[in-house]
Amino acid sequence: MARFVDIHPDNPQPRLLEQVAAALRDDELIAYPTDSGYALGCQLGNRDGRDRILRIRGLDDKHHFTLMCRDFSQLGQFVHVHNSAFRAIKAATPGPYTFILPATGEVPRRLMHPKKKTVGVRIPDHTFVHALLDVLGEPLLTSTLILPGETEPRTMGWEIKEELDHEIDLVVEAGETPAEPTTVVDWSDDVPEVVRRGAGDPDRFGV
C-alpha cells in the first residue's frame, strides 16, 4: 500500500522532504507533482523502478526516460549540449520543456535510448521538485504519469494513490498541479525537432 505525504507547496517541510528522499534511496517508486502534471520517479540506479515505470505506463524499452535535474550545471553532467542549442536551452529553463540530447558516460546505459544513446533531460519550474532534488543530490529518473489509453498526465494525488496503491510506494501531494505535459524537443542533432507539443512554446526554437 502506497504511503501518502502532504507537503506544503511553497515552503516544503525539510522533515517531509527527507522522508521522500529516503524512500528514493531505498529504491522506492514515487508519484510526485511537477509543473506539468504528476510524474513517476526513482533513483538513477533503481533497475526495478525503471521496469515498474515501463509496466505502469505500458511502454517498451525504446521509451525515452527523462532525468529531472536541479539546474543547468547538473544537466550538463548528464548530456552533451551542442553549441547551437546551448543558449536556447538555457534560456528555456526552468520550464515545461523536455530536451532529448546525447547522453554522457554518467548516464547508465539501460536508461539511454538503445540505438540513439540519447536521454531526456528537464529542469522544472516547481518549488517542491527543486527542494527534493536539493536534498537528493542527484537527478531523478522520471516519466510523466500518463496511463495507457490516456493523453494527459494525472493531477490529483489522492486519485493516483487510489488507482496505483499497490503498484507504487509513495505519493506526494503539494498543491495544485497543471494537467498539460511538457513540450518535448529532440536536439540530438544540430537542428531541433518537436516530438510533442505541450505546455512550453516550441516557436522559441524556430520550429
Count of domains observed in the chain? 1
- Give SS3 for 66: strand
Q: Which of 195, 205, 181, 41 is nearest to 118 (CA)?
A: 195
**Which residues form the domain of 151?**
3-205
DSSP annotation of 79 reads: B
C-alpha cell at position 189: 542533432
State the CATH number of the domain containing residue 128. 3.90.870.10
The answer to whether residues 169 and 96 touch, using CB atoms and an 8 Å cutoff, is: no
Per-residue pLDDT 10s for the chain (207 aa) are 999 999 999 999 999 999 999 999 999 999 999 999 999 999 999 999 999 999 999 998 888 899 999 999 999 999 999 888 999 999 999 999 999 999 999 999 999 988 899 999 999 999 999 999 999 999 999 999 999 999 889 999 999 999 999 999 999 999 989 888 999 999 998 899 999 999 999 998 876
Q: Where are the alpha helices (DSSP H) in the chain?
A: 14-25, 47-57, 72-78, 83-92, 127-136, 157-164
